Structure formats: structure tokens, C-alpha cells
Structure 1
Amino acid sequence: MKEYKLESLIYYSKLTLDKEHILKSSSKDIQEKLDLYAKDGWRLVSTDVEDFGIGMYFYLYFERDLK
């Protein structure tokens, strides 16, 4: 039997000449979440991203075996 968990992260666009600023800031945060969940036995099984104009939602879907 499995259990599932969803982690949602949101990043807003800002005025900058760096068009990859969301990618840069989100990569560090997402890696921290992956490391944190992995320590507790969770596996990343899927991801999704939703663009809503001034920002982006990142969805991380995790699963692990029930203990």
C-alpha cells in the first residue's frame, strides 16, 4: 500500500533583465524539498507546472510505502 503527498510551490515574476530568475530561485527551493522528502522515504513520482501570468505554480507529487 502507498501513501501520497503533494507539495505546491509558487514563484512570482519580478521586474528584472534576467528572464530566468524564476528558474534560478525555484531550482534551489525545489532541490531542498526533494532532499527533505527523500530523507523521510518519499519518492518524487510526478511534477506539473502552471503558468498564470505573473508567476508559476510548481506541483511535486510524492509517494512512499506505508510504514
Structure 2
Amino acid sequence: MQTGKVKWFNDQKGYGFIVADDGREVFVHHSAINMSGHRTLYEGQSVEFEVVQGPKGLQARNVVPK
């Protein structure tokens, strides 16, 4: 698992970016967030996640808000 902070997340569109602790920017979609109810993230929020290669670049999955 990687760790990082949410750079931004658009709740209406359901996606945003995480900056990993190693400096890489990783796309995050709301469907990758592991939480019940409304899935959203907040700017500056700490998260744990896995990184996979998506069709357009690095993508987060199994995102766990801290």
C-alpha cells in the first residue's frame, strides 16, 4: 500500500488526484474509495491506496481514507 494526500477531488464529477508520498500524482475515481455511504475525499486528506497502470496513466484503487 502507498500513502499520500488528496490534491483535489471534485465531488460532483466523482474524481480527483492524490499526491503519493513519493511525489507521483495518481488519478482517483469515486468507485475506488473503500467506504460505506457517499464516497468522497477532501483536499489534504491522508489516504492509503494501491497504484495500478490505467488506460491514461497511474490510477488509485482500494483507497482507504485516514
Q: Normalising by the residue count of structure 2, what TM-score does the alignment of the two structures yield? A: 0.25
Q: Which has the larger radius of gyration?
A: 1
Structure possessing the higher relative contact order (Cα contacts under 8 Å, 6 or more residues apart): 1
